[in-house]
Amino acid sequence: MIGIQPIDQYARDISDEKQASVIDGSSKGTEKRYHSLHQDYPDPDAIRKLAASIKDHTLHHLGEYLAKAEESLTARGVNVHYASTDEDARQTILAILRQHGVTQLTKSKSMAAEEIHLNPFLIENGVECLESDLGEFIIQLDGDEPSHIVKPIIHKNRRDIAKTFVREGVAADYNDDPETITRRARVFLREKYMQAQAGITGANFVCADTGRLALITNEGNSRFGMAPVQVHIALVGIEKVIPQEKDLAVFLNLLGRSATGQQLTVYTEFINGPRSANQPDGPEHMHVVFMDNGRTDVLASNCREILRCIRCGACQNVCPVYRQASGHAYRSTYGGPVGAVLSPILFGSRFPELADLPKASSLCGACNEVCPVDIPIPDLLLRLRDKAKKESVPSAGAIPMSPFATLATSPSLWRTAMTMSKAMNHLPIQVAPIKPLQDWLGQRTLPDSKGGDFRKWMKTHQADAARAGKAP
Amino acid sequence: MSRAAIFAKIESATAMVKAKAAYPEYDLSIVHSQPRLQGADLWEIFTRNFSAVNGRAMTSVAELLDFLKQSSQLHGYCDPLLYDDIGAQLAAAGLVVETEYHRDRYDDYQFGITRASGAIAESGTVIIDDDRTSHRLAALSPWVHIAVLSRGEIHRSIPDAIAAFGESPNIIWCTGPSKTADVEGILIEGVHGPGEQIALVI
Ligand code: SF4
């Protein structure tokens, strides 16, 4: 077929087994996530908007808050480093490890570390570096890439994992019972935690007022990774800063619910310094590496709202394109709607190569509706399509996607289409007389369109707010 | 070098933002979950929410002893400061209770009794910090972790617990036992940390 986009190629080539795992894993728990917000709060949208405005405020004053976070951390005996690029970050971390004589460490799941491909680099440089999150551990054993922000092995089933364990010597015999798999990993990783000299983590939030890093896991791996070791290194994207500890209440309540339908993730750690003098366990040295790696380019772009992202994975779970194509189809650390916006700008030099991602969306708006920080992902995708057009980035797939592109570049046409899409739920659109649309639909099952309910909601909300005399 | 470069880039990027967002003044009651906060007594609210995340709330050492015996967790660690109140009773009933944690024998400890610094009623969370915990590892490596707290240490809501952070460089909230759903979305408890999280009030 002429002009097929890389992401469509992935969707076409994905094995049935892998696709079944991804569809099952992303749709599972959707209701639970929805209810955990709606049962607990009369107006979850008010909290999403609040979170968005706290993030926007911080991003618009990032210099101030980052400097403040640095000052707070330094005052508590934490060494603060900065890394402009992925290479800077890798070298900085390696230098810290060498300084402390570290040859073995465990690492708890961090998207920032994924982004700079830290593991293979450290291993090449003679440092044994083991992922401790169960999913990431399996990814590492397989030499694979995570395909979901929260559920890295969403694309694998228990049989794949049981085979890996035998092949890699984690287990002596094949057993695909999930509980047995988990127990085997427990035993294997404990020994590694105890042998390690350092723990590497990311951070979900950094409070500028006290420097406190908030770190969440369900498994307790980051907590374990840091209990027996002397050195803690946290690799943190500069956009993770929030103004004050008080704001944590807003973000933590949203993050657990949006990611997994939990009010709080099991382990929420708050760290702003080496262990207390009276505590026998825990790091004596703490380093925080603040990393840019393209974030300031995103901040300078007209898609800066994507930096609000708290990496909950909700947009991936609801996205019909993600479900069909899998996270790997996005060919970068961040898959799904968030990745379709973030990756082409964050990894700016790869823009032409990733320019198909913003087009791989039906703009159904589901991602925006579930996003806990209210990122207008469909709008951002349009801005990126526009950028590609302006920069005349040649990309496959321009023809098949063109009906969408036409709709998408005209707000009034788009509104009409969104309203009509509700009617389309009842029409056999597979037989609509648009050839490229048929090709495209041939590979996908569309979810029922909600017909732009969120847009409507937003409008009423703005009108109400205007009546009440406040800015929306 | 990196520092100056990053701050310069941030400066030029944020200078381009015409309408800078103000910090939103807000009331933290917006994140209070009323259904979860229902009830008058904080221990009762805590117990309800803690059970919902598969934690076990206990009010006596006898109850703890029963549980440990039934689940055959007969060898463990107890914070020396809690030995007289708790550890001694378990030892008297025949359990092996050590008051020193030896890292090289981490597998020997089936339970660990340590002091919590508080709890959160709204979320069913046990709070552990560096200042009150005798050994981070003793609260982590055993299959059963018993966090000991007093009723007066329960915070009503998540924002209240944040406001009470204090100076400890390391605070951990434990909302139920360690768990994963990485393998086909199936919930398994006891991944790296405890498979049983107990809150014992004294
Ligand atoms: S864009 Fe929003 S929904 Fe998607 S991962 Fe980020 S915070 Fe979650």
Q: Which atom of ligand 1 is nearest to the CA of A377?
A: 1
Same domain membership, residue A173 and residue A252:
yes
* H or E element at residue A197: none
Q: Tell me, yes or no, whether A210 and A109 share the same domain.
A: yes
pLDDT digits (tens, 9 = 90+) for B99-114: 999 999 999 999 999 9
pLDDT of B86 over the 70 cut: yes
Distance CA B5, CA A386 (A): 29
Does some domain include residue A418? no
Disruptive mutation site among A182, A241, A302, A470 for chain B (greatest number of B CBs within 10 Å): A182
* Domain edge (last residue) among A355, A373, A396: A396
State the amino acid at position A401 in one-letter form: M
pTM greater than the 0.80 cutoff: yes
Asked, for residue A466, whether it belongs to a domain, the answer is no
Name the least confident of A114-118, A145-149, A260-264, A452-456.
A452-456
- Same domain? For A337 and A286 the reply is no
* Contact status of A246 with chain B (Cβ, < 8 Å): yes
Task: Domain of residue A179: give its range.
Answer: 44-293
Q: Architecture of B35-201 per CATH?
A: 3-Layer(aba) Sandwich (3.40)
Ligand 1 pocket mutation, candidates A375, A377, A379, A381, criterion most atoms within 8 A of CB: A375
Ligand 1 atom at shortest distance from the alpha carbon of A314: 3
Number of domains in chain A: 2
CA distance B192 to A104: 19
Non-local (6+) Cβ contacts of A117 within 8 A are A86
Q: Which two tokens stand for residue A403?
A: 């009906």
Residues A119 and A222 in one domain: yes
Least confident of A103-112, A140-149, A407-416, B108-117: A407-416
Asked if residue A136 and residue A173 are part of one domain, the reply reads yes
Diameter over CA atoms, chain B: 72
Is residue A58 in some structural domain? Answer: yes
Q: Say how far apart CA A26 and CA B185 lie, in whole Å.
A: 9
Q: Give percent above pLDDT 90 in chain A.
A: 51
Residues A48, A38, single domain; the answer is: no
* Domain boundary residue, one of A293, A325, A349: A293
Calculate how close chain B gets to A428, using CA atoms only, in Å.
33
Looking at chain B, the whole-number percentage of residues with pLDDT higher than 70 is: 100
Considering only CA atoms, which of A146, A193, A187 is closest in space to residue A165?
A187
Q: Average of pLDDT values for B191-197? A: 93
In a domain, A282, yes or no: yes
Domain end marker among A366, A396, A426? A396
Task: Select from A274, A448, A225, A292 the least CA-distant residue to B1.
Answer: A292
In this structure, the answer to whether residues A80 and A38 fall within a common structural domain is no
Q: Summarize the confidence of residues B64-92 as an average pLDDT.
A: 97
Whether A2 is in a domain gets the answer yes
Which of A254, A330, A338 is the best mutation target for the ligand 1 pocket, counting ligand atoms within 8 Å of the beta carbon and taking the most? A338
Which ligand 1 atom is nearest residue A370's CA? 3
Tens digit of pLDDT for each residue in A71-119?
Answer: 999 999 999 999 999 999 999 999 999 999 999 999 998 889 989 999 9
Q: Is the pLDDT of residue A4 over 70?
A: yes
User: Would A54 be classed as within a structural domain?
Assistant: yes
Sign of torsion over alpha carbons A95, A97, A102, A103: negative
- Same domain for A383 and A273? no
Question: Do A119 and A167 belong to one domain?
Answer: yes
Residues above pLDDT 90, as percent of chain B: 90
- Which residues, numbered 14 to 73 in chain B, qualify as contacts with chain A under a Cβ-Cβ cut-off of 8 Å? 14, 16-17, 20-24, 26, 28, 30-31, 33-36, 49, 53
Question: What is the spatial distance between Cα A201 and Cα A199, in angstroms, rounded to a whole number?
Answer: 7
Q: Whose CA is nearest to atom 6 of ligand 1?
A: A309
CB-based pocket (< 6 A), ligand 1:
A 149, 258, 309-315, 338, 370-373, 375
User: Do A55 and A36 lie in a common domain?
Assistant: no
At A232, the pLDDT band (50, 70, 90 cuts) reads very high
pLDDT of A439 higher than 60? no
Q: Are residues A199 and A119 in the same domain?
A: yes
Atom of ligand 1 nearest to the CA of A313: 5
The arithmetic mean of pLDDT across residues A159-188, rounded, is 92
Listed in sequence order, the DSSP H helices in A329-452 are: 336-346, 351-354, 366-370, 377-390, 398-409, 411-424, 435-441
A312 inside 8 A of chain B by CB: no
Query: B24–A210: do the CB atoms touch at under 8 Å?
Result: no
Chain A contacts in chain B segment 105-164 (CB below 8 A): 106-107, 122-123, 125, 130-131, 133-137, 140-141, 158-159, 162-163
The residue behind tokens 């229902």 is B38
Please indicate whether residue A64 or residue A278 has the higher confidence score (pLDDT): A64
A460 in any annotated domain? no
Q: Does B172 touch chain A (CB under 8 A)?
A: yes
Domain range list for chain B: 35-201
Average pLDDT over residues A258-268: 92
A5 within a domain of the structure (yes/no)? yes
Q: Are residues A231 and A93 in the same domain?
A: yes
Residues of A in contact with B102 (CB under 8 A): none
